[in-house]
Amino acid sequence: MVKGVLPQTLDALASMHEAGYAHRVLSPGCIQLSAKQGMNKNAALEDCDPTNLCVKLGDFGRATLFEDASALPGGSLGLVAQDLRAVGMAFVQLLLGSLTETETLNPETGLATPVARPPPVTTADLARQMALFDDRITGEGGFAEFCRGEQAWNKVVALLDADDGAGWQFLELLVSAPSSFSLARAAGEVPGLRTASGMASHPFLQTEAIADAARGVIGGRGIDVSKRKLFGLFEW
C-alpha cells in the first residue's frame, strides 16, 4: 500500500485540488482500487501488487470549490490542510488495523505467546486518541511513543521507525497540517504550504523499509498473506 497506493492516493488528491476542489470527507472507504487498463481486476487484487492497481477517490458529497471557500476558516489553504490530515489518519488507521499482531513466536521454542489486544482503531476511536496528543506524532509523549507501548503494533513501529523515523515524520506532516496552518495564521505568519503532490514525493515513500513492506516483509519478518492484502488495499 505505502509503496504504490498511498502515493497514488496523494496523486489523486493532488489532481482534485488542481481541478479546484477540496474533498473534505476523505476516509479509507473513499479510497477505492481498480486494476490498470487491460488487466483483470480480480487477478490484480489477488496478487496485491500496487503497481498493477490504480486509485480512485469516491464520496464527493461534501466536495467544495476553492473559489467558494472564502467564507470558511482558513479558506482554500485550510481545506487543503484538512484533506492532507484525512489522508494521514486513513493511513494510520489502515496500518494499525491490518498489521496488528495477535501472538508472538519464540524462535527458540517455536511456541506462540498471545499478545494483549491494542486499543480499537475505528475512525472515531483513532480521532479521539489523536486528539489526546494534540496531533503530535513524534517527540516525548507523542503518538509514536504511545504506539511503542503496544506490543501488538510492533510491526507498525518497526516500519515507521526505519530510516531514523522517516515514517513518523511523514505522518506528522500530514496529520498536523491543519494545526500547523492555524498556528501560523494566529501568529500572523505566512503558513507553510503543504500539498498533496509534495507529500507524494516525500523521502519516506522511497525508503528501503517501504520497498520491503511491498514485498511482504517488515522488520525482517514476513506479513501473513491475509494481512498483506489488507496492508495493500483500502477498499476492494
User: In this structure, what is the dihedral angle of CA atoms 15, 8, 88, 138, given to the nearest 10 degrees?
Assistant: -120
Question: What would you measure as the largest C-alpha separation in the chain, in angstroms?
Answer: 64
Which pLDDT score, from 0 to 100, does residue 83 have? 96
How far is it, in rounded angstroms, from Cα 6 to Cα 171?
12
124 near 89, Cβ under 8 Å? no
Domain count, the chain: 1
- The CATH number of residue 147's host domain is 1.10.510
DSSP string covering 185-208, please?
A: HHTTPPPP---HHHHHT-GGGGSH
Residue ranges with strand state E in 61-164: 64-65, 103-105, 112-114
How far apart are the C-alpha atoms of 55 and 200, rounded to whole Å?
A: 13
**Weakest-pLDDT range from 69-73, 86-90, 137-141:** 69-73
Q: How confident is the model at residue 8 (pLDDT cuts 50, 70, 90)?
A: confident
C-alpha cell at 213: 513492506
The residue segments making up the domain with residue 188 are: 5-232
Are the beta carbons of 14 and 23 closer than 8 angstroms? no
**What is the pTM assigned to this prediction?**
0.84
Report the range out of 45-54, 153-162, 189-198, 206-215 with the highest average pLDDT.
153-162
48 vs 111, more confident: 111
Q: What is the pLDDT of residues 53-82, one digit of tens each?
A: 788 899 999 999 999 988 887 889 899 999
Using the predicted structure, report yes or no on whether residue 87 has a pLDDT greater than 70.
yes
